[in-house]
Structure 1
């Protein structure tokens, strides 16, 4: 029972004490009834109880007795009644104990909506690669990143790269970032006393590398790996000119959908993708992958002599990937060697 009801019952209890005692209890002491004052006659039992119920209902804001049972009083809150101080304190305690409402969940940002997918513009562009996933952190924290603008190379007598390429079966993959050509085993290079197996090559437009600030129409990156898992990339610069037969063979087997891989019927003579001998001088430096996760410790060899590619062949790639080149990164004082 609330404090408000208890306070309301106090005057009623006093009123009840003034009423004559009732003989409804069979074990009550048989005392004679007190003599009533001549000026006041005691109320009949029924009238006294009715008066008591009416006064109680008036105090508590109750309705009349329930039909069929005159001893039941229905109590309702009085409209607009001010809660008693004790009730207010109880309400404040209950409100303090209740858990705070959950804040509304913020709408996902454009970056979060990107789902960690990287690209070359927008929320997943190169300036944000390092934030997309923990394993991409090197893209923003690395100190030996690629590509670079190749300047001030130290001219030395470099050993030529020994290419052991042969006609090979190949498969063409549109991986959503570039056109990649996966080649059969058996192609390799040897440089600085190490042998690296060719895994695949792919294209960028425009060239990611620059030489003394000059950027080329496209570039092909030939990715190799040695038995210890170390990577070596040969970059072949492509500039506008005549049609390139190796590039055309790749374009002839382009997948119709991104993510698809098409197995070609013929073979590629990979040596024809390179500049002709003896024009295979190169720049070399230590860098990274130019796409996430931007792993460092990659040996780079950029061929100094570009090879031709026709405007039509450039246009075919541009329809799929108008621009997929990472901006140049700081050389950060790295040693760049240039073959004579």
Structure 2
């Protein structure tokens, strides 16, 4: 068994490294196209309805299993080069060369994007915003580093690298004037929860390793409001059942 599978988390190919994956069927966050109906919108979305390892979840620190989790080896360069408003989120594409190494297995950072309010919760607490750093290995297996934002008095300097250039309209892209360094978003403490989950958007593909940072970072009220106003609606999938999955801490 490969070392990075030693915790019992099995990765499956998600086909496309650039989650959220595009769907040929329209979907959204409310009404007949909302999360409770995603599984009905297309056969490809069946996992959204019947999957047993779906994301996001509520991470219960008391019930999480204490494990010898290996430290995250993050080798990030300044590589964020384009911001896309795809109507569901703001996504920043990342140039090749930035990696996450987990248990000796390398995943390359492909993009990062945002949800407000947060999708994952910690001990029942929702945060105003969450970032997902999406990585893929050479076979297309996915690992996502999730990062919570709490509201504070000061602007988040990492966000300010590209926040002023966020495209305001769906399907708009903006070439960033300077490459974004995603490492400037991260908390000082890289302690994390780990669980096996899925994409949080259709087709809800399972087999994704989730690494959720325990320590939130701060963003200002104005920064959070700018994102929510551009989106025009909450873009978080409700928490899903944990079922029999182990959550490691």
Q: TM-score, normalised by structure 1?
A: 0.64
**CA-to-partner distance for each residue in 1:102-125, whole Å, 9 max, x for gaps?**
xxxxxxxxxxxxx93111101100
Partner of 2:215: 305
How far off its partner does 1:158 sit?
1.1
Q: Give the 5 Å matches for 1:104-183.
A: 116-151=25-60, 152-183=63-94
- In structure 1, the partner of 2:178 is 266
User: For residue 275 of structure 1, what is the aligned residue in structure 2?
Assistant: 187
Q: How far does the alpha carbon of each residue in 1:11-43 deviate from its partner, in whole angstroms, 9 at most, with x for none?
A: xxxxxxxxxxxxxxxxxxxxxxxxxxxxxxxxx
Instruction: Point out which structure has higher relative CO (alpha carbons under 8 A, 6+ apart).
Output: 2
**SS where residue 161 of structure 2 aligns?**
helix
For 1:314 and 1:257, how far apart are their aligned partners in 2? 17
Greater per-residue strand proportion: 2
Secondary structure, in 3 states, of the residue corresponding to 2:224?
Answer: helix
Structure (1/2) with the larger helix percentage: 1
Q: What are the Cα deviations for residues 117-156 of structure 1, in whole angstroms up to 9, with x where unaligned?
A: 1111011000000010111111001110000011111112
Question: Does residue 296 of the first structure (1) align with residue 180 of the second (2)?
Answer: no
Aligned partners of 2:168 and 2:230 also within 8 Å: no
2:151 is aligned to 240
Note the C-alpha offset of 1:249.
2.3
Q: Secondary structure at the match of 1:255?
A: coil
Equivalent position to 1:185, from 96, 102, 109 = 96
Choose 1 or 2 for highest CA Rg. 1
Aligned counterpart, 2:18: none
- 3-state SS of 1:261 partner: strand
- Candidates 220, 227, 233, aligned match of 1:317: 227
Mapping of residues 1-150 of structure 1, within 5 Å: 116-150=25-59
C-alpha root-mean-square deviation of aligned residues, in Å? 1.2
Deviates more, 1:157-166 or 1:244-253: 244-253
Aligned to 1:239, the other structure's residue is in SS state strand
Match 2:122 to one of 211, 215, 237: 211
- CA-to-aligned-CA distance 1:59-104 (integer Å, 9 cap, x gap): xxxxxxxxxxxxxxxxxxxxxxxxxxxxxxxxxxxxxxxxxxxxxx
SS for the counterpart of 2:165 is coil
The gaps in structure 1 that reach 5 residues or longer are 1-114
Kindly state the Cα deviation for residue 193 of structure 1 after the two structures are TM-superposed. 2.2
CA distance in 2, matches of 1:171, 1:235: 20
Check conservation: 1:116, 1:124, Cα contact below 8 A: no
Q: Distance in 1 between matches of 2:156 and 2:52?
A: 36
Unpaired runs of 5+ residues, structure 2, are 1-23
